[in-house]
Amino acid sequence: KRTNNNNKRLPPGPRGFPIFGSLHLLGEFPHRDLHRLAKQYGPIMHIRLGLIPTIVVSSPKAAELFLKTHDLVFASRPPHEAAKHISYNQKSMAFAEYGSYWRDVRKMCTLELLSNVKINSFRAMRKEEVGLFIDSLRKSARDRVAVDLSVKVSSLSADMSCRMVFGKKFADSEFDERGFKAVIQEGMQLSAAPNLGDYIPPIASLDLQGLTKKMKKVGKVFDDFFEKIIDEHAQSKDEDKNKDFVDVMLGFLGSEESEYRIERSNIKAIILDMLSASIDTASTTIDWAISELIKNPNIMKKVQEELENTVGMKRTVEETDLESLDYLNMVVKETLRLHPAGPLLIPHASTEDCTINGFHIPKKAHIIINAWAIGRDPDAWTDAEKFSPERFVGSNIDVRGRDLQLIPFGSGRRGCPGIQLGLTVVRLVLAQLVHCFDWELPNGMSPADLDMTEEFGLTVPRAKHLLAIPTYRLHK
Ligand code: HEM
């Protein structure tokens, strides 16, 4: 729609698709489908999903316009049925619309929960959990059995996140008969499912797909659990322990001096944020990184050599070693380039009408940033499809949002506030997996045959779990 005569029309994109045809875009691999369409229609593309004007951004230059030049206009989130029913009426940080509430919560999380000092205060806990994880892999190494690394890494990540957020980890049975991980995963799946109510808001209340009913049920399981946790924390008298996230937030509740205005329901929404944003993102990234290393034995060997030279073979990697592991850090960057855990980031929304590159973007449009396509843009990357950590030698391209050709954590106001924590966990676990063990695929499978198919959801993990046989290699 033209608003004034100077504004160009957006390139048409696949407009005119029937509504259900458009929703099909969010089918099996939306990041790949949207990438394909962008090759035809350009890096700023307009599609209509149901009733919602949606702008898809697919190149570093275009991303710069949305996430840097006009960041403020696009710093909101669209209404989201799942966030409404599961995340306390969209009061979680990740889904809150732009405004003073989001700013307050973001400030509180950045300064009080995700600061370097706070993250470092959980170093001993991470060491203990990673130690247990390595011990259990050593047992499999002795027995010469294949381990399901996808499951193992994901439960390590869940345990570390739970201890940081709640101060303890949970046996599955303590949560719900299905188990903690299964319920978190159901919440994530429901949040990622294409929901007619998001694209045709007037029919949301009809719940034609039965999703709202399921969301409310999962939301209730979380709520009961979080209520119990908050009560336990409120009654705890242990003043000396390292404060977990719930302790920190309870300290601000109802306090006159606190600059953060949060209530009990906000605490619950933020707990959910911290769990859902940290568990799968980190474990998916580790899973892809180790898969790429197994698939590329020469690169695996180079990482092992770096570890041998820097750490030696008589002790395990410490967090303090991580900064000096240059090649390992390049492997992590390269993994995040080809396998960003959130390939389409989280949708952004425009807070006002805006003109970008001469194109009119209406208020309340949804903005999808295809970080996956950007990481494979042939104008930004040579041999874009190839896994090659060497591409970062002598380059200062970073993953933290400054360089728009590599944005696995997004960029600008809505960029990920958990980058430091995420990178620490990914680097630490990957370093230990590679330093402590050699890896072999089961049944004599050759590395080249390892299936790298993805599965799309809020994060994009491997479709098939990674199974591999470890051989212990340290002298300790
Ligand atoms: C490898 C690990 C991680 C990756 C790849 C990742 C990626 C992302 C991405 C792509 C976004 C959306 C950015 C946007 O919409 O522009 C995001 C947002 C967010 N992340 Fe992370 N993340 C990771 C770890 C973490 C951790 C450990 C935490 C906290 C415990 C965290 C908390 C959040 C939150 C709260 C948001 C929403 C921010 C907002 O809307 O203001 N993330 N992350």
Tell me: the pLDDT tens digits for 367-389?
999 999 999 999 999 999 999 99
Sign, Cα dihedral of 424, 427, 433, 434: negative
| Predicted confidence (pLDDT) per residue in 344-363, tens digit | 999 999 999 999 988 899 99
Q: Is the CB of 410 under 6 A from ligand 1?
A: yes
Spatial separation of the C-alpha atoms in residues 180 and 95, rounded to whole Å: 22
pLDDT digits (tens, 9 = 90+) for 57-76: 999 999 999 999 999 999 99
Pocket flag, ligand 1, residue 64 (CB < 6 Å): no
Burial of 362 (0-12, 13-18, 19+ CB in 10 A): middle
Give me the mean pLDDT over the 378-402 stretch.
97
Q: pLDDT at residue 43 above 60?
A: yes
Q: Lowest mean pLDDT of 8-17, 144-153, 413-422, 460-469, name the range.
A: 8-17
Annotated binding-site residue? 436: no
Q: What is the mean pLDDT of the chain?
A: 90
Distance CA 425, CA 461 (A): 17
Q: How far is CA 128 from CA 123, 125, 146, 472, in A?
A: 9, 5, 23, 19
Rounded CA-CA distance 258/251 in Å is 9
Closest CA to 43 of 6, 72, 13: 13
State residue 459's pLDDT score: 83
- How far, in Å, is the centroid of ligand 1 from the Cα of 410? 8
Sequence-distant (6+) residues with CB within 8 A of 364 are 78, 349, 350
Q: With bands split at pLDDT 50, 70 and 90, how would you rate the model's confidence at 188? A: confident
With CA atoms as reference, report the closest residue to 317 among 185, 457, 436: 436
- 282 CB within 6 A, ligand 1: yes
Q: How many beta carbons lie within 10 A of that of residue 102, not counting itself?
A: 22
- The answer to whether ipTM exceeds 0.90 is yes
Q: What whole-number distance in Å separates Cα of residue 202 and Cα of residue 413? A: 30
pLDDT of residue 22: 45
Domains of the chain: 19-472 (1.10.630.10)
Query: Ligand 1 pocket, 418 CB below 6 A?
Result: yes
The SS3 call for residue 366 is strand
Q: Residue 255's pLDDT is what?
A: 73
371 Cα nearest atom in ligand 1: 10
Q: What pLDDT shows up at residue 10?
A: 52
| Cα of 285 from ligand 1 centre, angstroms | 13
pLDDT level of residue 1 (50, 70, 90 thresholds): very low
Q: Which class for 473: exposed (0-12), middle (13-18), buried (19 or more C-beta within 10 A)?
A: middle
Cα of 100 vs centre of ligand 1, distance in Å, is 20
Question: pLDDT at residue 15 above 50?
Answer: no
With the most atoms of ligand 1 within 8 angstroms of its CB, the residue from 105, 164, 409, 419 to mutate is 409
Find which of 127-131, 185-189, 459-463 is predicted with most confidence, using mean pLDDT: 127-131
pLDDT-derived band at 259 (thresholds 50, 70, 90) equals: confident
Say how far apart CA 298 and CA 175 lie, in whole Å. Answer: 43
Ligand 1 geometric centre to CA of 417 (Å):
6
Evaluated on CA atoms 270, 242, 185, 33, the torsion sign reads positive
Task: Report the C-alpha gap between 115 and 325 in whole angstroms.
Answer: 22
Looking at residues 81-103, what average pLDDT do you find?
Answer: 92
Give CA–CA dist 404/62, Å, rounded.
9
pLDDT at 8 over 90: no
pLDDT digits (tens, 9 = 90+) for 124-134: 999 999 999 99
Pick the range with the lowest mean pLDDT from 1-15, 282-296, 369-383, 454-468.
1-15
Asked whether 270 lines ligand 1 (CB < 6 A), one says no
Per-residue pLDDT band at 25 (split at 50, 70, 90): low
When pLDDT is cut at 50, 70 and 90, the band that residue 396 belongs to is: very high
- Provide the pLDDT for residue 211: 93
The reply to whether ligand 1 has any atom less than 6 angstroms from the CB of 277 is yes
DSSP bridge partners of 48: 53
pLDDT in tens, 425-440: 999 999 999 999 999 9
Residue-wise burial string across 115-146, b where 16 or more C-beta atoms lie within 10 A, e elsewhere: eeebbeebeebbeebbeebbeebeebbeeeeb
Mean pLDDT of 226-236: 92
Write out the H or E segment, with its range, that includes residue 360. Answer: strand 359-361
Q: How confident is the model over 36-46, as a mean pLDDT?
A: 92
Ligand 1 centroid – CA 32 distance (Å): 21
Ligand 1: residue whose CA is nearest its atom 9 = 409
Percent of the chain scoring above 70 in pLDDT: 93
| pLDDT level of residue 212 (50, 70, 90 thresholds) | very high
Least confident of 20-34, 81-95, 177-191: 20-34
Ligand 1 pocket, 126 CB below 6 A? no
Instruction: Collapse the DSSP code of 158 into the 3-class scheme (helix H, G, I; strand E, B; otherwise coil) and give the result.
Output: helix
pLDDT at 303: 98
Residue type, 308: E
CA 333 to CA 70: how far, in whole Å? 26
**How far away, in angstroms, is 267 Cα from ligand 1 center?**
18
- At which residue do the structure tokens 């050709």 appear? 405
Burial class (CB within 10 angstroms; exposed 0-12, middle 13-18, buried 19+) of 364:
middle
Q: Distances in Å between the alpha carbon of 259 and those of 24, 251, 303, 327, 356?
A: 45, 12, 46, 42, 36
- Written as one string, the DSSP assignment of 85-115 is HTTTTTTSTTTPPSSHHHHHHHHHIIIIISS
Q: Which atom, in ligand 1's list, is nearest to the CA of 285?
A: 1
- 260: its two tokens: 């953060």
Measured from the CB, is residue 281 less than 6 Å from ligand 1? yes
> Pairing relation of β-strands 52-57 and 366-369?
parallel
Mean pLDDT computed over 122-146: 97
Q: What pLDDT does residue 239 have? A: 77
- Average pLDDT value for residue range 296-314: 98
Q: How many CB atoms lie within 10 A of CB 373?
A: 24
Q: Of 416, 420, 426, 459, which is best to mutate to test ligand 1, by the most ligand atoms within 8 angstroms of its C-beta?
A: 416
